[in-house]
């Protein structure tokens, strides 16, 4: 299982003083160097953290960019221009602190189908950030997404053991269902150094997208080490390779 690192909050810190430091581009390369498979940037409609120049520059320097975005014409045009490796479509509300909940693909299958057709014409892999629900997964298949990203926020936000187990089972069953439909499966949101191991045990998930916990930990240990420690957790959940 791979790790994609979301670097939005490097831009949050930079924007706090309106200058150019710390640089999200620098952060992207430290994370890749530490073993991240992908860099995620969420270019929000209000540009509260990542800016157009950030994604333009990162996409010029590496192909390993996952552009997280609302299904908004202006942002889709930017995606068409910079052609990231993948685009993850998320719902977006101005007032939210972070993405809250998954996309309602079911209510917009034909609209997403058109968007996906456009993005796929540039060989961009399209992913839908959705709740672990069969009806949304089936809708994502019908809308011709390549991947789903399962929203792990409810799992991460549950504090009692029983509730976490229930959420884990939902995520596991959803991953299985999506794989059986021929969709690729990623997962993310709210994952940290305590709750990622159990998600990494789930068979068939391709990549975990993690941001806030890694960047928070990086304040104390540095970004390279923070990324490496998360990769170690993910890899420790993998069965050992038996050489014959
Ligand atoms: N995946 C998606 C679709 C997200 O919106 C976010 C948050 O921007 C993440 C993953 C990463 O979440 P976190 O920052 O809580 O690790």
Cα 77–chain centre separation: 20
For atom 9 of ligand 1, which residue has the closest CA?
189
Show the CA angle centred on residue 11, arms to residues 5 and 13, nearest 5°.
Answer: 110
Q: Which of 102, 158, 93, 86 is nearest to 135 (CA)?
A: 102
Write out the chain's pLDDT in tens, 244 residues. 999 999 999 999 999 999 999 999 999 999 999 999 999 999 999 999 999 999 999 999 999 999 999 999 999 999 999 999 999 999 987 667 766 789 999 999 999 999 999 999 999 999 999 999 999 999 999 999 999 999 999 999 999 999 999 999 999 999 999 999 999 999 999 999 999 999 999 999 999 999 999 999 999 999 999 999 999 999 999 877 777 7
Q: How far is the CA of 29 from the centre of ligand 1 (A)?
A: 19
Catalytic residue list contains 217: no
Q: Give the domains, in start order, of the chain with CATH numbers.
A: 2-236 (3.20.20.70)
Catalytic residue list contains 189: yes
CB atoms within 10 A of CB 117: 12
Q: How far is the CA of 244 from the centre of ligand 1 (A)?
A: 39
For residue 234, report the phi and psi dihedrals to the nearest 5 degrees: -65, -45
* 213 CA closest ligand 1 atom index: 16
Both tokens assigned to 242: 């038996």
């Amino acid at each position: 299982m791979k790790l994609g690192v979301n670097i939005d909050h490097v831009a949050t810190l930079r924007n706090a003083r309106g200058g150019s430091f710390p640089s999200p581009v620098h952060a992207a390369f430290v994370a890749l160097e530490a073993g991240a498979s992908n860099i995620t940037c969420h270019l929000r409609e209000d540009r509260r953290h990542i800016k157009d120049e950030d994604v333009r520059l990162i996409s010029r320097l590496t192909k390993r960019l996952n552009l997280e975005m609302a299904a908004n014409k202006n942002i889709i045009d930017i995606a068409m221009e910079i052609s990231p490796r993948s685009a993850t479509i998320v719902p977006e509300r101005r007032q939210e602190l972070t993405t809250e909940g998954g996309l309602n693909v079911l209510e917009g299958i034909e609209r997403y189908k058109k968007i996906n057709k456009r993005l796929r014409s540039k060989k961009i892999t399209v992913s839908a950030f959705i709740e672990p629900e069969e009806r949304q997964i089936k809708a994502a298949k019908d809308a011709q997404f390549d991947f789903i990203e399962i929203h792990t926020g409810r799992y991460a936000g549950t504090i009692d053991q029983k509730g976490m187990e229930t959420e884990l089972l939902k995520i596991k069953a959803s991953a299985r269902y999506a794989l059986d439909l021929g969709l690729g499966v990623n997962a993310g949101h709210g994952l940290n150094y305590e709750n990622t191991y159990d998600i990494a045990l789930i068979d068939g998930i391709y990549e975990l997208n993690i941001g806030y916990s890694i960047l928070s930990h990086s304040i104390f240990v540095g970004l390279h080490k923070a990324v490496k420690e998360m990769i170690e957790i993910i890899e420790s959940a993998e069965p050992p390779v038996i050489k014959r």
